């Protein structure tokens, strides 16, 4: 009997919540160290992160690995999609969105197509870098819009704890594929991910 996506999401989120704060921080550090070694990270200049919530893996631990060329961006919800605001490390003016997420208040935003690398939160993933989101669809709608423009857009990297990995996720027609997922245990790549960026 196949397991539904909703069941996979619930099981992965339970496993994530079961991590102690210290274990979650150690796992986030391990995953971020793996990301910092990726060619896709080293080549990227504009890098999209997210502000973690609900026990998510923390991509902010990657900020000390940014070099002088690299700039971090965080998402802000506009309508049904995301736009991205440049930040200076952990220092930016923020507010709580209607979804309870910390987001920047700065006026000047960039579309997702301006980013070189986008680190994406998720509920669950599998070894083929397939992702289950939180259910709001903001990332899928935003990333689908880049396809409409005919532009490839940023390299897409999921970030999660290894306890969120499930056996296999059945993709749906609106799911935008990731290039890879980073966890504390390894980097999981999509089969068609370009070798030069791995």
- Give me the number of domains the chain comprises: 1
Q: 109: pLDDT confidence band, cut at 50, 70 and 90?
A: confident
In 3D space, the residue among 131, 101, 107, 136 whose CA is nearest the CA of residue 119 turns out to be: 131
Domain that holds residue 94: 5-197
Least confident of 30-34, 133-137, 145-149: 145-149
Q: 23 is written with which tokens?
A: 């274990």
Model pLDDT for residues 76-88, shown as the tens digit of each residue: 888 888 999 998 7
Mind giving me the DSSP string for 140-151? HHHHHHHHHTT-
**Is residue 108's pLDDT more than 90?**
no
Look up tokens 């709608």; give the residue: 141
The rounded mean pLDDT for the chain is 86
Domain with residue 82: its CATH number is 3.40.50.10420
Residue 145, pLDDT score: 64
**Is residue 104's pLDDT more than 60?**
yes
Q: Within 10 Å of residue 178's Cβ, how many Cβ atoms? A: 24
State how far the Cα of 68 lies from the Cα of 27, in Å rounded to an integer. 26
Report yes or no: 119 and 48 within 8 Å, Cβ to Cβ: yes
- Mean pLDDT value across residues 93-121: 79
Alpha helix ranges (H) inside 1-107: 5-17, 21-36, 39-43
């Amino acid at each position: 009997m196949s397991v539904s996506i909703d069941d996979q999401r619930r099981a992965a989120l339970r496993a994530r919540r079961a991590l102690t704060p210290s274990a979650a921080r150690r796992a986030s550090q391990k995953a971020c160290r793996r990301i910092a070694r990726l060619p896709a990270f080293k080549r990227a200049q504009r890098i999209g992160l997210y502000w973690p919530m609900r026990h998510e893996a923390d991509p902010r631990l990657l900020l000390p690995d940014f070099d002088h060329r690299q700039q971090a961006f965080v998402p802000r919800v506009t309508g049904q999609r995301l736009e991205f605001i440049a930040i200076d490390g952990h220092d930016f003016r923020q507010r709580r969105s209607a979804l309870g997420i910390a987001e920047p208040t700065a006026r000047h935003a960039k579309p997702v197509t301006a980013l070189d690398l986008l680190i994406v939160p998720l509920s669950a993933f599998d070894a083929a870098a397939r992702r289950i989101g939180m259910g709001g669809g903001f990332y899928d709608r935003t990333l689908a819009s880049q396809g409409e423009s005919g532009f490839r857009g940023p390299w897409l990297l999921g970030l999660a704890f290894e306890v969120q990995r499930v056996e296999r996720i059945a993709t749906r027609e609106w799911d935008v594929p990731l290039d890879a997922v980073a966890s504390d245990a390894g980097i999981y790549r999509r089969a068609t991910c370009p070798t030069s960026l791995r």
